[in-house]
Amino acid sequence: MARSKVPSEERVFSLVLALVASSGGLTKHELLSSVYGYSERYRDDAQRGSLERQFERDKEQLRQLGIPVETIDSPGEPGNNQLMRYRISKAAMQVPEGLSFSDRELMMLRMAVLAWREGSLTDEARRAAMKLESLGGGRDPLSTGVSAGFGAAEPSAPALLAAIEAGQIAEFLYQLPERDAPLLRRVYPLQLRRFEGRWHVIAYDVERKASRVFLLARISGQVSSMDPKPGEEQRPGDASELVDRAVDALERLQRDTAVTLRVRPRSRADARFSPGAEVLADDEGGRVLRFGTVDIHELASLVAGYGADAIAVAPERLRDAVRALLGRVDTAHGGLTGAAAEPTVADAEGTH
């Protein structure tokens, strides 16, 4: 079976070019059979299903970036997905006539976009960010002496990016929530990816000979980069495919791990958790949300941080994790905070 060696960034960029160039839109068949990154595998029937799922992910990625992918139904068979056409309207991507920014204004706006949490940006804000790129606002913000992309919470990011660029091995200590001591990991980092508002590194673990995903916030100490030892495995040639499979696994885990929270309407917790969540109830008792997550422990930390504005309802292990965090806070303050009694965990019936 042929494997795609096309980097995902090149594939998505090629898709954008095709969608912008066609004013009348293109069908899925036309896109998959002609666009660089898809066409190489389109003739392989065994890969057709995974290729179509990849196309759906790429479309969603573009929409999350603020690029409006439009769909046009077939006039003869409306609702037929095979005849549906896709396009990107040039008008929707254009900056209003007469609007201009100085270089300094563009840089400040770009830095604000980078610093803002991904989950809080509306579709309109994402489209505005893309228009800033077209005006030149995508200039490297590091040239100003200020880095808004990765804050102090991700000090490992620069070293990992350098290792990716050089194709080197990265070594670091990784702290799992359920372990007392961190583990030494030796990996080829392949891509940094933001998922659920947190930065992850998708990597190939040299010792385990498999792809792994690591949360940057759990990397402790310095990241060391180096060339492989004599006889040690080289960087995988199918990095793009490994990344795609890792993202598939993250999305499956997110779908399979449903959580329920009760949040105070119009609170910071509401703004953080509501986008993309299913609203189960919205009354005087609060807004009940259900959504998927890839990391119960990180979510528990967020819930605990919002205090009474966010209450863990289900599953039990999320409630237990929040209780444990609040208990540690209470213990650290000599039992003076009453943190363990804060209403951030619902009882078994889902009440406060």
| CATH code where residue 81 lies | 1.10.10
Instruction: Report pLDDT for 137.
Output: 45
Is residue 2, in this structure, part of any structural domain at all?
no
* Range from 56-70, 130-144, 229-243, 315-329 that averages highest in pLDDT: 315-329
Q: How many domains does the chain have?
A: 4
- On whether both 231 and 167 belong to a single domain, the answer is yes
- On whether both 166 and 248 belong to a single domain, the answer is yes
- On whether both 161 and 247 belong to a single domain, the answer is yes
Instruction: Report pLDDT for 193.
Output: 86
- On whether both 212 and 137 belong to a single domain, the answer is no
Tell me the mean pLDDT in the region 49-72: 85
Instruction: Report pLDDT for 181.
Output: 93
- On whether both 247 and 261 belong to a single domain, the answer is no
Tell me the mean pLDDT in the region 73-78: 71
73 has pLDDT over 60 = yes
- On whether both 294 and 242 belong to a single domain, the answer is no
- On whether both 13 and 86 belong to a single domain, the answer is yes
Domain end, chosen from 206, 227, 253, is at: 253
Identify the three-state secondary structure at position 137: helix
CATH number at residue 177: 2.30.30
- On whether both 209 and 238 belong to a single domain, the answer is yes
22 has pLDDT over 70 = yes
Is residue 173, in this structure, part of any structural domain at all?
yes
- On whether both 173 and 244 belong to a single domain, the answer is yes
Is residue 112, in this structure, part of any structural domain at all?
yes
197 has pLDDT over 90 = no
- On whether both 299 and 216 belong to a single domain, the answer is no
Instruction: Report pLDDT for 221.
Output: 92
Instruction: Report pLDDT for 67.
Output: 82
- On whether both 52 and 87 belong to a single domain, the answer is yes
Domain end, chosen from 118, 144, 170, is at: 144
Instruction: Report pLDDT for 145.
Output: 35
Is residue 179, in this structure, part of any structural domain at all?
yes
- On whether both 35 and 83 belong to a single domain, the answer is yes
Is residue 151, in this structure, part of any structural domain at all?
no
Is residue 152, in this structure, part of any structural domain at all?
no
Torsion of CA 132, 137, 138, 142, to 10 degrees: -140
Is residue 348, in this structure, part of any structural domain at all?
no
Read off the pLDDT band of 107 (50, 70, 90).
Answer: low
Is residue 206, in this structure, part of any structural domain at all?
yes
Instruction: Report pLDDT for 151.
Output: 46
Domain of residue 303 covers 257-341
Question: Using an 8 Å Cβ cutoff, are 66 and 123 in contact?
Answer: yes
